[in-house]
Amino acid sequence: MTVFSVINPATEEVVRSVASTSAEETDAAIARAQAAFPAWRAVTPGDRAKLLRRFAAAVDADIENLAQLEVTNSGHTIGNARWEAGNVRDVLNYYSAAPERLFGKQIPVPGGVNMTFAEPLGVVGVIVPWNFPMPIAGWGFAPALAAGNTVVLKPAELTPLTAIRLGELAREAGIPEDVFQVLPGKGSVVGQRFVDHPAVRKIVFTGSTEVGKQIMAGCAAQVKRVTLELGGKNANIVFADSDLEKAAATAPYGVFDNAGQDCCARSLILVQASVYDRFMELLEPAVKGVVVGDPGSDKTEMGPLISAQHKQKVSSYLSDDAPVAFRGTAPEGSGFWFPPTVVTPPNLQDPLASDEIFGPVVAVVPFAEEADAVNMANHTEYGLSGSIWTRDVGRALRVSRGVEAGNLSVNSHSSVRYWAPFGGFKQSGLGRELGPDAVDAFTETKNVFISTED
């Protein structure tokens, strides 16, 4: 049996060793999920809804344990981790209403009655990243289970502990063991079998654009359905007419949350030239005020990066002559710490302004007019999220329509609300998660015609 170690990114200590699922074990798990599918889809809608609500209640009762696990599993601050566990509960409750609302349609046609049914797909493979292990898992498995599918879930190798615990809570709540299975292991083994195995009818993947392209290509061989939530280089556009003090005070929390390891991070701040200098004056104390430290403390606002390898990658963007405007502080010693950092690249072609660094580094670039801001926000291959700061409602609507991104907030940095669809434009992804229509992505539409002619 092969095992891998889970490392606490704040201390570099080994938290636990976890058995790595082999290709053969993955195939066996998929076979069990396939065998469990007919019975699960046959569970009455009301009873499936009750099981999902019981799962949500089990998560709710375990929130503090899940949060503490995430602190050591991922280095998330305890406040964030509690919110993330609560999000799993809320998403399960939200989709517990779906089994009784999987409506078809009666379509007027000549000569008979035509109706549609929303049929579950079968086995769904959910591949979860390391940056938000709990909520992103829930965004996949909750609507999939609600629609009557069985689920095999692969957590990231770096952060499997909370997913394993969620699997245990599902069983405690009465979800049959083979209906929801958690398979820790390598992406090249477990994830690849999800892609290659014909019994897996859909893949839900969140991660890098590069890996997402590989998964999409693999799914194409079987015309396998896929939802992809990929990278982002998101703009925070600050107009001169905005509440500049609030825009500057909140900007650090739009990018440095989870140490910038967030595909929705506003890591490119575009500021109207006429207020650029004043914005930078306001931004500096806000950045230096970000509390970086022990993720287990309620006062901490930013924890460590996930691993030594990732810290090295983030550091590679900041050579000795990098245009660093100012930095916050971070602990020294053990742990993968990196200070909040503000840079001022000369143009948008600079990697600091165009690459998804996925760390606590934000680039600030001036723009002249509204049209320039839109063009600059659209300069990347990504289109996931972003913010617009203005008091002008007309401008807010014009810019929102002009920016090529799936999730935009005006005078806010909120990206994800489970009541609303989430996903990206361009190379930030394919399909949508969350919201009232997410269950549709886990069903096929079946059309049935019944002749009424003699």
* C-alpha dihedral (399, 402, 407, 410), degrees to nearest 10: 0
Token pair, residue 149, equals 């599918």
324 membership: H or E segment, kind and range: strand 324-327
In whole angstroms, give the CA distance from residue 2 to residue 365.
Answer: 48
In Å, how far from its chain's centre is CA 287? 25
Residue 263: active-site member: yes
DSSP state of 293: S
Of the residues 219, 263, 264, 433, which is catalytic? 263
Rounded distance between C-alpha atoms, residue 218 and residue 214, angstroms: 6
| Active-site annotation holds for 404 | no
> What is the Cα–Cα distance from 343 to 331, expressed in whole angstroms?
21
Q: Are 24 and 131 in contact (CB under 8 A)?
A: no
Q: Which helix (H) or strand (E) holds 125?
A: strand 123-127
Say if residues 166 and 126 touch (Cβ distance below 8 Å). no
d(CA 203, CA 214): 12
Looking at 70, 84, 229, 301, which residue is catalytic?
A: 229
- CB-CB contact of 378 with 348 (8 Å): no
**Distance from the Cα of residue 447 to its chain's centroid:** 33
- Side chain identity, residue 273: A
Catalytic annotation, residues: 229, 263
